[in-house]
Copies of this chain bind each other. A is one copy, B any other.
Amino acid sequence: MSRPCPQHQHPHRLIQQPLSDLTDKLRRGELKITAPRQAILDVLRKHASPLTIKEIHTSLGKMDCDLATIYRNMHTLERMGLVRRYDFGDGAARFELSPEEGDAHHHHLVCKQCARIIELDDCFLSEFQDQLARRHGFTKISHRMEFFGICPTCRVP
């Protein structure tokens, strides 16, 4: 809901420019520019919070492609680093455009009642995570962290 500082707000240049940049990017990954692919990225670009596959599908509206196609595309785009996958524990994966190149990511505060999602500022765990990796000899370390609760609107007074 609230992307913090504007300097982190790169509106994903790569996918907003006409085509050439996207082409470059996709070609490098041996991907083709197809209608479903573009439509999915359009949908993601229009939404601030992570979307489920079902939400993406309904958002696609008349350009209505198969669910399997969306699932496959999300894998592909995730593998290429264009989208990021989140898991809020309700059994449905959610996807968001990657903040920018690199490893930046953030976490979420989710209302258990109405599913409103508040995006939190940049993650503060990287130092702790590195310590952890060192202490236990782990490599390629990553983490998941989400917060849940009842939002002010849903709280019964």
Q: Which residues of A contact B (CB under 8 A)?
A: 87, 89, 109, 111-112, 118, 120, 129, 132-133, 136-152, 155
Contact = CB atoms under 8 A, between A and B. Distances in A.
Contacts of A150: 138-140
Contact of A155 (B109, B118, B139, B155): B139
A150 B141 CA distance: 7
A144 B110 CA distance: 11
A132 B109 contact: yes
A interface SS class: strand
Contact of A145 (B109, B111, B145): B145
13 contacts: A111-B138, A120-B132, A129-B147, A138-B149, A138-B150, A138-B151, A138-B152, A139-B155, A140-B150, A141-B149, A142-B147, A142-B148, A144-B145
Nearest to A113: B140
Contacts of A141: 147-149
A137 B142 CA distance: 29
A133 B145 contact: no
A149 to B, nearest CB: 4
A152 B118 CA distance: 36
Contacts of A109: 132, 136, 138
